[in-house]
């Protein structure tokens, strides 16, 4: 069976759907700390799980014959800055526990998301390479950088088949904006459809690497299905699709909503965005396991604007 930890989050909500259609609802267990958030998963098994409860997690893995874990629970960048020690504790303790559990229970595969947040202010900003200086200055970024080091360590020392991707900002319409610095790009679509004025918490020319959720799901499943010997990087793969600024995503929406208005009021999240790259070089992912993205900004905006209204009505 496949266990998804943090299934009700932005990535988990869509990855659970994809894994269920791939493996069947009987073989997927969606877990989250929030019981109410699990109600939408009426197509697979579910269980309330606090990843900080190691014994409960171990029991679930044993009782449900879990062989793969997608560990998605984490505190994101903006929220993490408001509660640094809690964010570090949850992000790091949970990963270390899962890696050790995978070693002890001889699990088949582990998936753990990293992020462009591992890069810092003195990382090359354009076409950021797979290997480069990484001095993240957010708790979230520090936890992702340390986590990558532990993933590679458990692979090299204990043969744990853990795989990871450095996601750019992920944009999807099936979950509400969360505590991410890139989540302005989720919220903007909701405001456009509601006919409201959008206030961007990042400046108009803040370019950031981004990706539409279907591409992120495809990359995750492509990586997890790749033969072991093709997964040459066991820290975490750079992954790239599109880069855009708040002005550019606004312009792509305005084509469909001519009356849509934006204004810019940068807040503390501007400094986080400024510490991250403008664009990413993901040659290694493309060469090692055939990654290529499908959605550009125009296609993403068309897809979200045509699906979000109905989605909001039904959920
Ligand atoms: C965040 N969405 O903003 C996440 C992501 C690259 C950004 O890690 O914290």
Pick the atom of ligand 1 nearest to 181's CA.
Answer: 3
Mean pLDDT of 172-188: 89
**Distance of CA 150 from the midpoint of ligand 1 (Å):** 20
User: How many CB atoms within 10 Å of residue 85?
Assistant: 9
Q: Is the predicted pLDDT of residue 176 greater than 90, yes or no?
A: no
Of 164, 186, 182, give the one whose Cα is nearest residue 277.
182
Which residues does a 6 A CB cutoff place in the pocket of ligand 1? 76-77, 115-117, 140, 168-170, 180-182
pTM: 0.95
**Distance of CA 182 from the midpoint of ligand 1 (Å):** 6
Among 118, 170, 212, which residue has the most ligand 1 atoms within 8 Å of its CB, making it the best to mutate? Answer: 170
Beta bridge partners of residue 110, listed in sequence order = 69, 162
ipTM topping 0.85: yes
Pick the atom of ligand 1 nearest to 208's CA.
Answer: 6
List, for residues 224-244, the tens digit of each pLDDT value.
Answer: 999 999 999 999 999 999 999
**Distance of CA 195 from the midpoint of ligand 1 (Å):** 26
The residue contributing the CA closest to ligand 1 atom 8 is 115
140 is catalytic: yes
Mean pLDDT of 52-76: 97
pLDDT band at 213 (very low <50, low <70, confident <90, very high): very high
The residue contributing the CA closest to ligand 1 atom 2 is 180
**Contact status, residue 125 vs residue 278, Cβ threshold 8 Å:** yes
**Catalytic residue among 70, 140, 237, 250, which?**
140
Tokens of 9: 């989050």
What pLDDT is stored for residue 149 in this prediction? 98
**Distance of CA 62 from the midpoint of ligand 1 (Å):** 32
List, for residues 258-271, the tens digit of each pLDDT value.
Answer: 999 999 999 999 99
Pick the atom of ligand 1 nearest to 76's CA.
Answer: 9
The residue contributing the CA closest to ligand 1 atom 4 is 180
- Cα–Cα–Cα angle for 52, 50, 28, rounded to 5 degrees: 120
Cα–Cα separations (whole angstroms), residue 129 to 133, 188, 274: 9, 30, 18
Give the H or E element holding residue 238. Answer: strand 237-238
How far apart CA 16 and CA 47 sit, in angstroms, is 13
Query: How many CA atoms within 13 Å lie on the side-chain side of 285?
Result: 28
**Distance of CA 64 from the midpoint of ligand 1 (Å):** 31
List, for residues 125-148, the tens digit of each pLDDT value.
Answer: 999 999 999 999 999 999 999 999
């Amino acid at each position: 069976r496949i266990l998804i930890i943090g299934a009700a989050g932005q990535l988990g909500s869509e990855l659970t759907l994809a894994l269920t259609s791939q493996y069947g609802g009987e073989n997927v267990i969606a877990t989250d700390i929030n019981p109410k958030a699990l109600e939408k998963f009426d197509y697979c098994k579910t269980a309330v799980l606090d990843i900080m409860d190691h014994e409960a997690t171990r029991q679930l893995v044993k009782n449900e014959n879990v062989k793969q874990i997608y560990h998605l629970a984490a505190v994101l960048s903006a929220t993490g800055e408001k509660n640094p020690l809690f964010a570090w504790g949850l992000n790091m303790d949970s990963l270390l526990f899962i890696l050790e559990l995978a070693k002890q229970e001889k699990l088949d595969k582990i998936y753990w998301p990293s992020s462009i947040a591992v890069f810092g202010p003195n990382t090359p900003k354009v076409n950021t390479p797979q290997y480069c200086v990484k001095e993240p200055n957010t708790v979230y970024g520090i936890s992702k950088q340390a986590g990558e080091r532990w993933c590679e360590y458990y692979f090299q020392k204990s043969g744990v088949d853990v795989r990871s991707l450095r996601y750019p900002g992920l944009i999807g319409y099936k979950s509400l904006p969360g505590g991410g610095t890139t989540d302005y790009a989720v919220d903007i679509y909701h405001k456009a459809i509601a006919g409201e004025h959008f206030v961007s918490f990042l400046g108009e020319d803040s370019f950031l690497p981004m990706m539409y959720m279907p591409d992120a799901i495809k990359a995750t499943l492509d990586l997890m299905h790749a033969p072991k010997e093709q997964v040459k990087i066991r820290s975490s793969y750079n992954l790239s699709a599109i880069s855009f600024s708040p002005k550019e995503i606004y312009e792509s929406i305005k084509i469909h909503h001519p009356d849509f208005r934006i204004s810019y009021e940068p807040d503390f999240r501007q400094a986080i965005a400024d510490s991250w790259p403008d664009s990413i070089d993901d040659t290694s992912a493309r060469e090692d396991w055939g990654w290529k993205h499908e959605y550009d900004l125009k296609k993403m905006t068309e897809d979200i604007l045509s699906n979000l209204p109905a989605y909001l009505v039904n959920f």
